[in-house]
A = this chain, B = another copy of it.
Amino acid sequence: MKIFSDAQFSPSAAELLREGVAPHELLLPRQPASSVLAKSEPDPAFASAEVAVGQPDVASVEGSRALRWLHLTSAGFTRYDTAEFRALAAARGLAVTNSSSVYEEACAEHAFAFMMAQSRRLPRALATRTASGTPEWLDLRDASVSLRGQCVLILGFGAIAARLVQLLAPFEMRILALRRRPRGDEGVEIVSAGQLDASLAAVDHVVNILPENAESRHFMDGARFAAMRTGAAFYNIGRGATVDQDALAKALHLGRLAAAWLDVTDPEPLPAEHPLLSAPNCHITPHTAGGHRHEPETLVRHFLGNLRRFEAGKPLKDRII
């Protein structure tokens, strides 16, 4: 088979890929992507590929006659998540897999680290050298709230949310979740779209893990931020475009939300004058939630595991289409 890879791996991961795809032929683009998340440019080598790994150009995938399996090196798959693409893939028998199982642990831990840092008020506590007994010290201690017995709403219930629920287990929280297609095995309270406003008003934490697609754009808008309980915290480790950032900045400036913790923004990074950068209690990490030691090697091993399954005609892991 001919396997096209446009993913920009570290040297050791690239070597692992070269060795692992044998005896198949590995096709590389003239210009590799800048990261495993970045969109690639169309490339002439793509046309003959039966398998593609990376983030290939959507039009090239749609135009290919040879492609049978597309493996994405990310958990997100926004650019392929359209009705048109799904229909085309179904008509051609094209399988699409992503790398969500590579990222679920790191993403869940990142969201959880945000929640712990918020509940212990780490940004404020790390920034002061106030002495015991001062009003600032008493206020800081009083502002620290245990997760124990609090409520959280998770928007988007997939592998990351399932792992987050495990990490939250020792805190005996009430956990609500919104899921497009509930399966009944979530082990938490699933809320319907109609119950969403009441749920937003009931919880102390809203964790957004929604993927980005036509329906999720600005899902968290001004009305939904207004529905949240005063003093609640908002977290986003999904995609920046699912949030109306002006509405979020306003809610923070008004002091309605205690804090926002964002690993994703729209665009990334935000321009220097963006209102979120000056909003109070807005904490932003630069899309590092999925990152972890040996990530490139893990991505390659995940693909190679699927390649062995593909060769054997077995079901692929992390199949999304």
Which residues of A line the B interface, CB within 8 A? Answer: 8, 10, 34-35, 37-38, 105-106, 109-110, 112-113, 116-117, 119-123, 125-126, 128-133, 137-138, 140-148, 166-167, 169-170, 268-270, 283-295
Contact = CB atoms under 8 A, between A and B. Distances in A.
Contacts of A8: 133
How many subunits of this chain does the assembly comprise? 2
Contacts of A147: 109
A144 B288 CA distance: 8
A159 to B, nearest CB: 15
A184 to B, nearest CB: 23
Contacts of A146: 105-106, 109, 292-293
B170 A288 contact: no
B141 A291 contact: yes
B133 A290 contact: no
A131 B286 contact: yes
Given A8-B133, A122-B122, 5 more contacts: A105-B146, A109-B120, A125-B285, A140-B286, A140-B291
Contact of A141 (B130, B145, B292): B292
A145 B34 contact: no
B129 A120 contact: no
A286 to B, nearest CB: 5
Nearest to A145: B293
Nearest to A165: B170
Given A109-B146, A116-B117, A35 B132 contact: yes
Given A116-B113, A166-B170, A170-B170, A130 B291 contact: no
B125 A286 contact: yes
Contact of A123 (B126, B132, B284): B126
A321 B34 CA distance: 64
